[in-house]
Chain A
Amino acid sequence: MSNAILESEAAMADGTPRRGVEQLSMQQALNRALDEVLAGNPKTLIFGEDCGRLGGVFRITDGLQAKYGTGRVFDTPLAESGILGMSVGLAMAGFHPIPEVQFDGFAYPAINQIVCQIARMNYRSRGTMPMPITLRVPSFGGIRAPEHHGESLEALFAHVPGLKVVSPSNPHEAYHLLRYAATRPDPVIFMEPKSRYWQKGEVNFDSADPSGSRTGASPTGAKVMREGRHLTLVAWGAMVARCLQVAELAAEDGIDIEVLDLRWLKPIDEAALTASVRKTRRAVVVHEAPLTSGLGAEVAQLITQGCFDTLKAPVERITGFDVPYPSGDLEDEYIPNIDRILFGIQRVLEYRRG
């Protein structure tokens, strides 16, 4: 075994940040990030349903209780209002809680704590009680789960003043965005795309990004995942991977598509959005959440505001439907699929003024 590998394993054991590049699943990347956050800040606590002994139903907190003890990584009762209410008190007492709501739809019982306390305590206290809480929420659909296990709550959270909202699209983003979110003085809703948990990808641990390449680690703003000339697909979470597939297929037809991973859903990176669509002059927004009052409407308006004079067509939205998220195989009809996205692209390409 080479010294480099020995050093890498030593780094793993004490939770210090890594260097270099590794192939990891999003689960492993998130686990690594949490490990390093726990090691780096003794005020960090992780808790939620099954987060401790079991290591989380998606294995995200696997091994962390054994390593950091039941005082820092622990199980809670099945009561989301309690999980988030306790987070408020811990944040007031100077801790940095990283609570987990086990599934998106389980956040509803804690809406009061999230909206009325976490989001506005800093405002209410004139800055004397910041809420440095990173709320992890396994989000969106795609795993054939029952009701309350496939919902997209980004528009709800983004609408609440005081909250920041972010969603990673791959293991690299997951690692860096979670590490960054856990250092913020503000509450961050961290929406993990559960259908991408098992997908492996390259994680570049080096935080510096001198080349400005898209594998870099800058954790703020949106990110161009593929450059193109004719149209911009705007997406976040699990839909980024699907949009990259669509871009590959569109290239077979001679259409050159840019894919913009929005990453931060509150605040939205208007400059990156506008820069991309000013170049391509056409845009389609893709999300899993229902159409009406979905975040796609906000994105479309920001594009219209920033690019009205150069847009060649109205911004198209390809989304879920205005129904409760369906269980089982029906989700294939609900989540935007490749053909629905291609149809949306075709409508935009065909549009002519007047």
Chain B
Amino acid sequence: MAEISFPLPDLGEGLIEATVLEWLVSPGDQVERNQPLVEVETTKSAVELPSPQAGKVVRIHGGPGDKINVGEPLIVFEVPDNTAGIVGTVPKEEAPKRRVRLSAVLDED
């Protein structure tokens, strides 16, 4: 298993921090990609942050009311070592299936 940390992104243009309003997930939760993680408020608006990836939540940083600087850790996920990268999925190794059968008269000339 590997840990992947997701830092607070710049939610506007040139914002430097955000305030945590409410966490929507807890350590131990299994989250899907795009699942809402946390509601934060910036000087521009309050927004829900979607999860950048699937994984198990290991740690969350900051409770309601706490300020987090852009680029500082927001949440840490645990993911299996054999997960795909940012793009695509790991192919499943399946037993080969066939519908076609071969028939041939092989003259050994």
Residues of chain A whose beta carbon lies under 8 Å from any beta carbon of chain B = 25, 56-59, 103, 142-146, 149, 194-195, 198-199, 230, 245-246, 248-250, 253-255, 338-339, 342-343, 345-346, 349-350
Contact = CB atoms under 8 A, between A and B. Distances in A.
Given A143-B84, A250-B102, 11 more contacts: A143-B88, A143-B90, A143-B91, A195-B91, A198-B82, A230-B104, A248-B96, A249-B98, A253-B101, A253-B102, A346-B102
A199 B85 CA distance: 15
Contact of A342 (B86, B87, B90, B102): B102
Interface magnitude class on chain B: 20 to 34
22 contacts: A57-B85, A57-B86, A143-B87, A144-B89, A149-B88, A198-B90, A199-B93, A248-B96, A249-B98, A250-B102, A253-B101, A253-B102, A255-B102, A338-B98, A338-B100, A339-B98, A342-B98, A342-B100, A342-B102, A346-B104, A349-B102, A349-B104
A58 B84 CA distance: 7
B103 interface: yes
Contact of B88 (A25, A145, A346): A145
B91 A59 contact: no
Q: Closest 9 interchain pairs by CB?
A: A57-B85, A143-B88, A349-B104, A145-B88, A342-B100, A253-B102, A245-B96, A339-B100, A144-B89
B44 interface: no
B1 interface: no
A343 B86 CA distance: 36
A337 B104 CA distance: 21
A282 to B, nearest CB: 10
A145 B99 CA distance: 27
Contacts of A253: 101-103
B84 to A, nearest CB: 6
A103 B91 CA distance: 17
Given A253-B102, A253-B103, A346-B104, A146 B96 contact: no
Contacts of B87: 57, 103, 143, 145-146, 149
A58 B91 contact: no
A198 B89 CA distance: 11
Contacts of B98: 249, 338-339, 342
A131 to B, nearest CB: 29
Contacts, number: 64
Contacts of B102: 250, 253-255, 342, 345-346, 349
A57 to B, nearest CB: 3
Interface string B49-65: 00000000000000000
Interface in B6-38: none
Nearest to A281: B109
Contacts of A58: 85
Nearest to B93: A199
A142 B96 contact: no
A349 B91 contact: no
A159 to B, nearest CB: 28
Nearest to B84: A143
A144 B85 contact: no
Contacts of A146: 87
Contacts of B88: 143-145, 149, 194
Contacts of A230: 104, 106
A253 B97 CA distance: 15
Contacts of B85: 56-59
A342 B97 CA distance: 11
Contacts of A103: 87
Which residue among B89, B101, B104, B106 has the maximum number of chain A CB atoms within 10 Å of its CB? B104
A338 B97 CA distance: 7
Given A57-B87, A143-B88, A144-B89, A350 B104 contact: yes
A345 B102 CA distance: 8
Contact of B82 (A25, A143, A345, A349): A25
Contacts of B93: 199
Nearest to B100: A342
